[in-house]
Amino acid sequence: MKKLFLMFAMCLFAAAAVAQQSLGDVARANRANKHSSSSETKLSDDNMSRSAPSSAYEPETDKKTDDKDDKKADDKDADAKEADAKAAPKKDTADAQKQKNEELKKQIADETKEISTLQRELDIAQREARLRAAAFYGDAGTMLRDQAKYAEEGRKEQAEIDGKKQALDAAQQKLSDLQEQARKAGLPQ
């Protein structure tokens, strides 16, 4: 009976394996069945409008219009000269803006460098304070031998750590102000 049940189970699994399609096969079949031409638009004479351009060339035969064109050309030359004169200050302002942007970038880089230095100094000071506290727990007699000196060193270390934290906070605030200025000036982050 066990052998018959085992044979039946094996036949059932084999039939299921043959009948099942993989998910990839189903996806490929669906992709092949989709209409590729429905999403693409082919341009031809049938679907494009044929209209003449609005500014078609028309030759002029009247001499009066030629004189008017000459005056217009002279006016355009004068306007071009004025535009060049106006462009020169714009170029100067563009150069000044570019120089200002470069200066902001340099200030931001310097401030970032200063912040990393202050953070490293703060980490060192905190690590030394932890080492001192660990040494105290290792040998409690160090504090008992000279309590005033031990307390004074503890206060100095804490004051140093507090000062470095304040300097770091001030530098981070300055950096955020510089980044805000750069954002207002249109510089990327």
Give 96-153 pLDDT, tens digit per residue: 888 888 888 899 999 999 999 999 999 999 999 998 888 877 777 777 787 888 889 8
3-state secondary structure of 127: helix
**Cα 18–24–25 angle (5° rounding)?**
55
The letter for the amino acid at 52 is: A
Residue-wise pLDDT tens digits, 73-98: 566 666 666 666 565 566 678 888 88
Report the alpha-carbon distance of residue 126 to residue 137 in Å, rounded: 17
Model confidence, pTM: 0.47
